[in-house]
């Protein structure tokens, strides 16, 4: 059984270590702990990860956040992975820092990466792992906050957040969405 795990983010040094790139960061953390590396391929960087007999294709799209659907669609087709075996790892302003929420479907919630994937695939029936980045910004400051670097106090929490997200990814591929939601959709 194969799975596509998509970590959303923006390529480029100016976006490294920003809240919007938490999807990239989770996949990078998974690669580090598993001694695998990403290779630059069509529309993104990919790595193959195996766990308990399952095969996970990790994808960090190189199409920029707002065009993520192009990369996702390409890799789903190229690897013949059904959309129900795809998990999109994404930042979420509406959740407190570190809160994980797995959903089987839903709106894009104003997230341009999710919006483009939904539009490209013609459905919002795909599983997403939303990771809370908080909403500690003033009126009109949303873009600066999302594209901003982590504060020092937030950075200290990131390793634990990444570890929990990695466990949720493994769980998704081994015990399924429903049971994973039961375990991880808590603080």
What DSSP element (H or E) covers 32?
helix 22-34
Closest to 101 in 3D by CA, of 156, 143, 161? 161
Residues labelled catalytic: 20
Sign (positive or negative) of CA dihedral 173, 186, 24, 163: negative
Sign (positive or negative) of CA dihedral 175, 177, 179, 180: positive
Q: Give yes or no for a contact between 105 and 60, defined as CB atoms under 8 angstroms apart.
A: no
Closest to 103 in 3D by CA, of 172, 20, 31, 25? 172
Please tell me the distance from the alpha carbon of residue 171 to that of residue 23, in angstroms, as a whole number.
Answer: 17
User: Angle 68-78/112-121 helices, nearest 10 degrees?
Assistant: 50
DSSP bridge partners of 56: 3, 49
């Amino acid at each position: 059984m194969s799975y596509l795990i998509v970590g959303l983010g923006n390529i480029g040094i100016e976006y490294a270590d920003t809240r919007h790139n938490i999807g990239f960061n989770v996949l990078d953390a998974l690669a580090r702990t598993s001694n695998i590396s990403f290779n630059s391929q069509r529309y993104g960087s990919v790595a193959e990860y195996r766990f308990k007999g399952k095969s996970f294709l990790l994808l960090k799209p190189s199409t920029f956040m707002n065009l993520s659907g192009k990369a996702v669609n390409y890799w789903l087709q190229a690897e013949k992975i059904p959309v129900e075996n795809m998990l999109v790892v994404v930042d979420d302003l509406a959740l407190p820092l570190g809160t994980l929420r797995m959903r089987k479907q839903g709106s894009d919630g104003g997230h341009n990466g999710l919006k483009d994937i939904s539009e490209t695939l013609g459905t919002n029936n795909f599983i997403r792992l939303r990771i809370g980045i908080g909403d500690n910004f003033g009126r009109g400051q949303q873009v600066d906050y999302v594209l901003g670097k982590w504060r020092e106090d937030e950075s200290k929490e990131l390793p634990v957040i990444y570890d929990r997200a990695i466990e949720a990814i493994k769980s998704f591929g081994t015990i399924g969405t429903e049971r994973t939601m039961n375990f991880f959709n808590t603080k």
